[in-house]
C-alpha cells in the first residue's frame, strides 16, 4: 500500500454518543423511533449508547494505540441547530470542536459525515426527504457545519448510504421514520442525491482545498445459476442496489430496466420527480467515492418455480451474525468494477466489518478469531485491487467499538473494542491487536 494510505476506523454519532437530550440537542427521528414500541430489538435505546459524548478523549487513546491516521465520524444535525433549523446551537458545535481538535492534536485526520441518518424530527415534520422543499434545510445545515469547521476538516462526506435511508426507512419501514412506500423511497433517493450535488459547492466554498464525496453501500449481486431468469433478476438487483446511485452520480441517467420493472409491476406510477437540471446537479464532480462493503448477494429469480429453474450453482459460504456472507473476493471485484465503469478520482473503503459476538474470557481477553480472519481477508482484497490499479486511498474498519446497531439494538457487535453496556468498560479484542499489527506493517 502507499505510504500515505489512510488507515482508520469509522463510527456514527447516534450509534455511540448518547447524551441525547443535553446541551441544547433537539429531538432526532431516531430518538422518536426508539421511543416507539416494538421498533428496536429488546426495546434498546441510544440514550447512553457508548457514552462517547463524555468519553471521546479516552476512546481516542485507542486510536493512538491502533496507529490509525484517520477517523471517520458523523455530526449529529439535531445537536447543532435549534428548532428553526437555521439558528446554530453553539454548545453542540463546541462539542465537535473539542472532538476534532482532540483528533488533530494526535495527528489523526478526521473524515466528517454530515448525514449518518439521525436527522432532526422537526425536519421530518416539515416533510423530510420526501419533500423537495426540505432540501434547503440540509443545505443550510451543510453551510453551518462547513463554515464552522471548513479550515480544519479536509475530508467531507455528504450522506452515508442513501440506499439504506430510503429502503429501510421508507420502503421496508424497519428504520426511522418507518414508512412503507416504494414510490416515496425513490423520491427520497432522488432528493438525497440532489441535495448531495447541491451541498458539494457549498462545502467547497467554505472549506478550500478539501475533498468532498458521498458514501454508498454497494452489494454486488451474482446469479445463483446461469438461467436467463437468474441473470435477469441479478441485473435488476444490481440496478436497484448499486447502479441506481452510481449511474446518476457519474453522469448517466437512472437505469431503465429496473424502473420499467417497478412500473409494469404497478409498484410506482412512474419516475415523475426529476426536474430539468437534476442529473447535472447530481453528477457534480466529487473528489472521492466512499464505498461501504460488507457482503455480496446471490440472486435467485422468483419469476419461475424452483423446479423449472436450473440447479443452483453458487451457494453462500460462511455467514456472520447478521447472516451476511463472508466474501472478500466480492470486495476486490467490486473495486475493480467501480474503477472500470465509473473511474472515481479516488476511492476509500469507508466501512467494512462483521457482526460477531464473543464472550470475555476469564483472563479478560475477547478472542474474536472470525473477525480477525474477516479483517485480514478483506484488507488483502483491497491490496489486490490496489495492485491492479484501483485508486484506493484508504480503509476504515466498521467499527471502532460495539455500538447501537439501529433496529437491532445492541445485539449485533461490530467493534474492534468490546463494550460492556452495563459498566461501559472498553476491552480491545484480538482483532484490535491484529489491525494494529497490519497497520504497523
Least spacing, CB of residue 111 vs ligand IFM, in Å: 14
> Using CA atoms, how far apart are residues 211 and 204, in angstroms rounded to an integer?
8
Q: Is 12 in the site for ligand IFM (CB under 6 A)?
A: yes
The grid cell for 290 is 466512499
Binder to ligand IFM among 68, 405, 416, 417 (CB under 6 A)?
405
Q: How far apart are CA 369 and CA 429, in angstroms?
A: 9
| Three cell numbers, residue 99 | 472532538
> Considering the rule CB under 6 A, would residue 31 count as an interface residue with ligand IFM?
no
> Does 161 help bind ligand IFM (rule: CB under 6 A)?
yes
Q: Within 10 A of 70 (CB to CB), how many other CB atoms are there?
A: 22
Contacts of 138 (CB under 8 A, 6+ apart): 114, 115, 195, 199
The answer for 24, left when phi > 0, alpha when psi is -120 to 50, beta otherwise, is: left
Assess 118 for contact with ligand IFM (CB under 6 A): no
Q: Is residue 292 a contact point for ligand IFM (CB under 6 A)?
A: yes
Per-residue binding string, ligand IFM, 242-271, x by CB under 6 A, is ------------------------------
Give helix then strand counts, H and E, for the chain.
Answer: 16, 12
Q: Does 398 bind ligand IFM (CB under 6 A)?
A: yes
CA atoms within 13 A on the CB side of 309: 22
Q: Which residues of 257-268 are buried (b: 16+ CB within 10 A; e: fewer)?
A: ebbebbeeeeeb
Decide whether 12 or 185 has the Cβ nearer to ligand IFM: 12
Identify whether 306 is a catalytic site residue.
no
Least distance in Å: CB of 292 to ligand IFM? 5
Q: Is 17 in the site for ligand IFM (CB under 6 A)?
A: no
Least separation in angstroms between CB 405 and ligand IFM: 5
Number of Cα atoms under 13 Å in the Cβ half of residue 147: 9
Size of site (CB under 6 A) for ligand IFM: 8
* 11 binding ligand IFM? (CB under 6 A): no
Pick out residues in 364-393 that bind ligand IFM (CB under 6 A). none
Q: Which of 161, 211, 332, 405 is catalytic?
A: 161
- Of 161 and 179, the one with the shorter C-beta distance to ligand IFM is 161
Neighbours of 133 (CB within 10 A): 9
C-alpha–C-alpha distance, residues 297 and 303, integer Å? 17
- What the block records as the C-alpha cell of 4 is 500515505
| 129 makes contact with ligand IFM (CB under 6 A) | no
**Residue 71 makes contact with ligand IFM by CB under 6 A:** no
Provide the minimum distance between the beta carbon of 379 and ligand IFM in the complex, in angstroms, as a whole number: 18
> How far is the C-alpha of 328 from the C-alpha of 167, rounded, in Å?
25
Instruction: Considering the complex, state which of residue 31 and residue 351 has its C-beta at the smaller distance from ligand IFM.
Output: 351
Q: Which is nearer to ligand IFM, 117 or 432 (CB)?
A: 117
Nearer to ligand IFM, 92 or 409 (CB): 409
Choose among 252, 257, 217: nearest CA to 237: 257
Q: Closest separation between CB of residue 157 and ligand IFM, Å?
A: 12
Decide: is 351 part of the binding site for ligand IFM (CB under 6 A): yes
| Cβ pair 169, 177 in contact under 8 A | yes
Residues 6+ apart with CB under 8 A from 10: 71, 72, 73, 111, 350, 351, 396, 397, 398, 399, 400
Based on CB atoms, which residue is closest to ligand IFM, 195 or 399? 399
Give catalytic status of residue 161 as yes or no: yes
Site for ligand IFM in 133-152 (CB under 6 A): none
Out of 17, 148, 332, 351, which one is annotated catalytic? 351
Give me the phi and psi of 306, to 5 degrees please: -55, -40
Provide the strand spans (E) within 232-272: none
- List, by residue number, the catalytic residues: 161, 351
Residues found near ligand IFM in the complex (CB under 6 A): 12, 15, 161, 292, 351, 398, 405, 414
Amino acid at each position: 500500500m502507499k505510504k500515505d494510505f489512510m488507515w482508520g476506523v469509522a463510527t456514527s454519532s447516534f450509534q455511540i454518543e448518547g447524551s441525547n437530550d443535553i446541551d441544547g440537542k433537539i429531538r432526532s427521528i431516531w430518538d422518536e423511533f426508539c421511543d416507539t414500541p416494538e421498533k428496536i430489538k429488546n426495546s434498546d435505546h441510544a440514550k447512553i449508547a457508548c457514552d462517547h459524548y463524555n468519553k471521546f478523549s479516552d476512546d481516542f487513546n485507542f486510536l493512538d494505540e491502533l496507529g490509525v491516521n484517520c477517523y471517520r465520524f458523523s455530526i449529529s444535525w439535531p445537536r447543532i441547530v435549534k428548532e428553526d433549523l437555521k439558528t446554530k446551537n453553539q454548545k453542540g458545535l463546541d462539542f465537535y470542536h473539542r472532538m476534532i481538535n482532540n483528533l488533530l492534536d494526535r495527528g489523526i485526520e478526521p473524515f466528517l459525515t454530515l448525514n449518518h441518518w439521525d436527522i432532526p424530527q422537526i425536519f421530518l415534520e416539515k416533510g423530510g426527504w420526501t419533500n423537495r422543499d426540505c432540501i434547503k434545510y440540509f443545505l443550510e445545515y451543510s453551510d453551518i457545519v462547513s463554515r464552522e469547521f471548513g479550515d480544519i476538516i479536509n475530508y467531507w462526506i455528504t450522506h452515508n448510504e442513501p440506499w439504506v435511508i430510503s429502503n429501510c426507512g421508507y420502503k421496508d419501514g424497519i428504520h426511522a421514520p418507518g414508512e412503507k412506500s416504494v414510490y416515496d423511497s425513490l423520491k427520497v433517493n432522488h432528493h438525497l442525491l440532489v441535495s448531495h450535488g447541491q451541498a458539494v459547492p457549498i462545502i467547497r466554498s467554505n472549506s478550500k482545498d478539501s475533498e468532498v464525496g458521498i458514501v454508498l453501500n454497494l452489494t454486488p449481486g451474482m446469479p445463483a445459476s446461469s438461467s436467463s431468469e437468474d441473470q435477469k433478476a441479478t441485473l435488476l438487483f444490481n440496478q436497484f442496489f448499486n447502479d441506481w446511485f452510481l449511474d446518476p452520480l457519474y453522469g448517466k441517467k437512472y437505469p431503465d430496466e429496473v424502473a420499467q420493472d417497478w412500473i409494469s409491476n404497478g409498484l410506482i406510477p412512474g419516475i415523475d420527480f426529476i426536474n430539468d437540471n437534476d442529473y447535472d446537479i447530481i453528477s457534480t464532480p466529487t473528489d472521492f467515492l466512499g464505498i461501504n462493503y460488507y457482503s455480496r448477494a446471490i440472486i435467485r429469480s422468483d419469476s419461475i418455480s424452483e423446479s423449472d429453474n436450473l440447479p443452483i450453482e453458487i451457494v453462500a459460504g460462511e455467514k456472520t451474525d447478521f447472516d451476511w456472507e463472508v466474501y472478500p473476493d466480492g470486495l476486490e471485484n467490486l473495486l475493480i468494477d467501480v474503477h472500470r465503469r465509473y473511474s472515481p478520482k479516488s476511492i476509500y473503503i469507508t466501512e467494512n466489518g462483521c457482526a460477531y459476538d464473543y464472550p470475555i474470557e476469564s483472563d479478560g481477553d475477547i478472542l474474536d478469531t472470525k473477525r480477525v480472519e474477516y479483517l485480514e481477508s478483506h484488507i488483502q482484497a483491497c491490496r489486490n485491487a490496489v495492485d491492479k490499479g484501483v485508486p484506493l486511498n484508504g480503509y476504515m474498519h466498521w467499527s471502532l467499538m460495539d455500538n447501537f446497531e439501529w433496529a437491532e439494538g445492541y445485539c449485533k457487535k461490530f467493534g474492534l473494542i468490546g463494550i460492556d453496556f452495563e459498566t461501559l468498560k472498553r476491552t480491545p479484542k484480538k482483532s484490535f491487536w491484529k489491525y494494529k499489527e497490519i497497520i504497523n506493517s
